Amino acid sequence: MEKVIQNIDVKTIREAFPILHQQVNGKPLIYFDNAATNQKPISVIQSINDYYSRDNANIHRGNHSLADRSTANFEETRSAIQQFIKAKEADEIIFTSGTTESINLVASTYGRATINKGDEIIISGMEHHSNIVPWQLLCEEKGAILKVIPVTEIGEIDFDQFRELLSTKTKIVSIVYASNSLGSINPIKAIIEEAHQFGAVVLIDGAQASAHLEIDVVSLDCDFFALSAHKMYGPTGVGILYGKRDLLEAMPPYKGGGEMIKEVSFIKTTYNDIPYKFEAGTPNIADVIAFKKAIEFINDIGKEAIAHHENELLVYATEKIKQIDRVKIIGEAKEKVSVLSFVIDGIHHFDIGQMMDAKGIAVRTGHHCTQPLMHQFGIEGTVRASFSIYNTKAEIDEMIVSLEKIITIL
């Protein structure tokens, strides 16, 4: 029997987002740049305000009430994330500044400690630069080899080619769960299973997946998982790295400083237990605490309902845009998150973006930090409209009208 998903009340949800209720260039804002960062509900904004007006104190080392309160709230977010991604233990959650830092952390600690000359690291052709460059740096340093899974014409990874690339030389597979440029959802469970057969560890870049798809790191059996709060209705500058306990314990520290130590002397320093071993210095306390509110926001609506609504918008927008002459969609994978990338024959994507902005419509244009992918499609960039829980079909209609006008003018 098919599951019934509750219709969500978008009007009420929109009321929770103050930023949406403004005019841009004389028109009501239509925000379709959610894959870059999505907007924040009032509960998240209020939490940051509350922290600085009521609780501000440095965490973990204080012995006064404000420090205790801040520490408890900070650690509550860790537990909320543990439940959100279904990790076994809260200690397996490390706070970082976001997905980029999480991937760099793994490359510079696990990577540096384990990769040797001639070893191979596999990524895919649809990776964000943040899941390419850290591995290139590591390969340069160690004399290792970076291999790339090809992407098909419709924007799916070529699974047979992936199998061909795997060997006992493969030490790390680092792959995006959902592409920020194409929307494609990758078959990560199958990828993890295949990679594990060769003894490779797998890092999942969950930046675009975590606001829409159920994440269960134990059932996926991924070794590392990275995400960013700001793509999940949370603040910028906060993210997490999940890692399996045994891996994190064996890894050398990332940054040196306060909090990551047990004992410091000029002869020898010993390191703290996980997760603190990887959390040197004063963290982004207010934003970590507010991240919990973002998780509660997602949980209250339910990921399934969010995904259902966004998918309806994606299907609707895709059908409408296909009817416009000269438009070509880039990325037509069978499984997609709500990202619609396209080009219009003869019109530069920047011009389209600017003209849409004049109508109050915020879309992203450019290479979306996936230059190798753009090269594969023989383009410099796309226009990308990405939809979130607060978007509506009426807003998509406005975008379509605006695109039709642009085509008649240019």
Is 407 buried (19+), middle (13-18) or exposed (0-12) by CB count in 10 A? middle
Inter-residue contact 312 to 319 (CB < 8 Å): no
The CB-side HSE value for 247 (13 A sphere, CA atoms) comes to: 24
Q: Report residue 395 CA to chain centroid gap.
A: 24
Asked if 312 and 340 touch (Cβ cutoff 8 Å), the reply is: no
Q: Which is nearer to ligand PLP, 205 or 259 (CB)?
A: 205
Toward ligand PLP, which CB reaches closer, 176 or 314? 176
Q: Is 139 a catalytic residue?
A: no
CB of 265 to ligand PLP, least distance (A): 35
Instruction: Using alpha carbons, select from 381, 399, 374 the residue that is nearest to residue 321.
Output: 399
Minimum distance between the CB of residue 178 and ligand PLP, rounded to whole angstroms?
Answer: 7
- Count the alpha carbons within 13 Å of 380 in the hemisphere toward its beta carbon: 9
CB of 130 to ligand PLP, least distance (A): 4
Beta bridge partners of 385: 340
Catalytic residue among 207, 369, 385, 389: 369
Residue type present at position 148: V
Residue 1 Cβ vs ligand PLP, minimum distance, rounded to whole Å: 35
* Shortest reach from residue 269's CB to ligand PLP, in Å: 29
| Residues 211, 218: Cα–Cα separation, whole Å | 18
Shortest distance (Å) from residue 126 CB to ligand PLP? 9
Cα 41 from Cα 356, distance rounded (Å): 25
Rounded Cα distance, 233 and 44, in Å: 8
Alpha carbon distance 223, 248 (integer Å): 10
Minimal distance, residue 237 CB to ligand PLP, in Å: 9
**71/228 with CB nearer ligand PLP:** 228
Q: What is the C-alpha end-to-end distance of the chain, expressed in Å?
A: 50
Given the complex with ligand PLP, which of 73 and 104 has the nearer CB atom? 104
Q: Name the residue among 240, 242, 211 with its Cα closest to residue 96.
A: 240
Contact 278, 226 (CB under 8 A): no
Footprint of ligand PLP (CB under 6 A): 98-100, 128, 130-131, 176, 180, 205, 207-208, 228, 239
Please identify, using beta-carbon distances, which residue of 107 and 176 lies nearer to ligand PLP. 176
> With respect to ligand PLP, which residue has the nearer C-beta, 112 or 129?
129
Contact 96, 108 (CB under 8 A): no
Mark 250-272 as b/e (b = at least 16 C-beta within 10 Å): ebebbeeeebbbeeeeeeeeebb
Residues involved in catalysis: 369
